[in-house]
Structures are given as structure tokens and as C-alpha cells.
Amino acid sequence: MRGDARRLALLPPGAVLVNISRGDLVDDEALIAALASRRLRAAGLDVFANEPDVHPGYRKLDNVFLTPHIGSATEETREAMGRMLIDGIEALGRGETPLNRLC
């Protein structure tokens, strides 16, 4: 379910959108238009649809905050990611399906 213009219009005027999930969940053109018109007060993004290329429209706005994707940049998270990988490999070795299989 992508955040296109129709969905963004469902947000109350003056809302702040934060996306730390996936860049392609929000339509860049629709978000830029909502920010430029001040329909949305601001946006905070640390993920982008075409990473590492950021839509140039964001750079013209003073109400968007862009950061590199740092959501997993903690020692604890990186350790947990490593443990999850090892657990998945061990599950495969036992002929089982890893718990985090996507399809």
C-alpha cells in the first residue's frame, strides 16, 4: 500500500510524515507536492525510493529532514542480525525452514 497523493490527503492538515521503513512506500512526487503546498507540515525520511539517489525535489524544501538510513546502526541490532543469520543457517542444516523466511 503505497503512500500516493490520495492516501497522503487522508492525513490531517499540518501532519508530519516520518518514513524509516522503506523508501518506496511513499510516492516522492505526491509527498513533495504535499510538503511544497504546506498541506503537510514536514517529513522526516531516512529511507528513499531510489537509494542512494534522493529525489532532487526534496532538496528544494525547508520542511523535510533527510538522514542516511541508520535504523539498524546500533551494536545490539547488528548483533541480533548476525544471530538471526546464524539461526537461519542452522535451521537449514537441520532441514527446517528459517523463522524469517520471506516467501
* Residue of 89, 19, 18 whose CA lies nearest to 49: 19
- Cell numbers at residue 103, please? 516467501
Distance of CA 51 to the CA centre of its chain: 11
The residue annotated as part of the active site, out of 2, 6, 22, 78, is 22
Q: Is 70 helix (H, G, I), strand (E, B) or coil?
A: coil
The residue annotated as part of the active site, out of 51, 79, 90, 96, is 51
Q: Is 55 a catalytic residue?
A: no
Q: Is 69 a catalytic residue?
A: yes
Q: Is 57 helix (H, G, I), strand (E, B) or coil?
A: helix
Which residues are part of the catalytic machinery?
22, 51, 69
